[in-house]
Amino acid sequence: MQGIPLLKARAFLLAGLLLASCAYADEPIVVPPPLQVSFVDRASATAQDAIDHAMDLIGIRYRRGGSSPESGFDCSGFVNHVFREGIGLVLPRSSKEMSKSGEAISRDELRPGDLVFFNTMRNAFSHVGIYLGDNQFVHAPRSGGRVRIEDIRDGYWTKRFNGARRVNSD
């Protein structure tokens, strides 16, 4: 006896669902377009956006040839990733090629977001980092290391400083 009312309830529920889906068949289904970053949004992104992204990556391990948080970073892979993801700016892949991008600036003109270059492998511009301000820069240092912040006034970095470039014009 109890099975018949339950069976009727299921039949009414199924009929109601089917009829409800038909009631709106003439209305168009609107699918929003994929979210894209506009040229204006990219142009208004700031060096601080890149720095914020770089700070989120502190502690990621170094990996020669690496260019993602999942695989690890080498110095140029780190800088390239930060600027691409942080502000939509695609830089060359190697530190040597990056050293030709943007505007050359002197050490006393450094602003947060500028690229700083070092001779760490007996080659000019063989290492790159991102200047943070207050004599600090963030970089992916070397095999066995992790993305970290260093003081540009440290003797090691002072002796090896090669120059700086401004690639973001804010």
Name the residues annotated as catalytic: 75, 127, 139
The residue count for the chain:
170
Question: Whose CA is closest to 130, among 142, 144, 122, 118?
Answer: 118
Long-range CB contacts (within 8 A, 24+) of 80-84: 81/57, 82/50, 82/53, 82/54, 82/57, 82/130, 83/50, 83/167, 83/168
> Two tokens at 78?
């780190």
Tally of CA atoms within 13 A in the half-sphere of 5 that contains its CB: 2
